[in-house]
Amino acid sequence: MTPRPATEGAVQPPALTIDALGRKCPIPIIMLAEQINQVPLNGIVAVLADDPAAFTDVPAWCRLKSHHHVASYELPEGGWAIHVRRNY
């Protein structure tokens, strides 16, 4: 999967941003799992992460939990904003 720039394809702004920069996996996923229900159905959660494992693990978690990985955007300072749509 190739990350896209943060300005490309932005459709819906995140309802919640989780700052997991500097934290190793599985912490970004744990933070996402604990907080995803704070956004309304179909809302977007942006997980900010710079651990390379998060780049693949967050989309895998989405598939496992039936949420939608919208896109991963490169951050100018390094890392990604990984957007997840809450499905239930």
Q: What is the pTM of this model?
A: 0.88
DSSP 8-state assignment for residue 58 = H
Q: For residue 75, which of 32, 34, 22 has the smallest C-alpha distance?
A: 22
Q: Which position has the token pair 């989405």?
A: 62
In a domain, 7, yes or no: no
In a domain, 33, yes or no: yes
In a domain, 2, yes or no: no
Report, as residue numbers or ranges, the catalytic residues. 25
Cβ neighbours of 75 (radius 10 Å): 15
> How many separate domains does the chain show?
1
pLDDT tens for residues 1-20?
555 554 445 479 999 999 99
**CATH number of the structural domain spanning residue 39:** 3.30.110.40
In a domain, 6, yes or no: no
| β-bridge partners, 16 | 45
In a domain, 1, yes or no: no
In a domain, 52, yes or no: yes
Report the percent of the chain where pLDDT is more than 90.
88
| Residue-range definition of the domain harbouring residue 35 | 12-85
Contact present, 55 and 25 (Cβ < 8 Å):
no
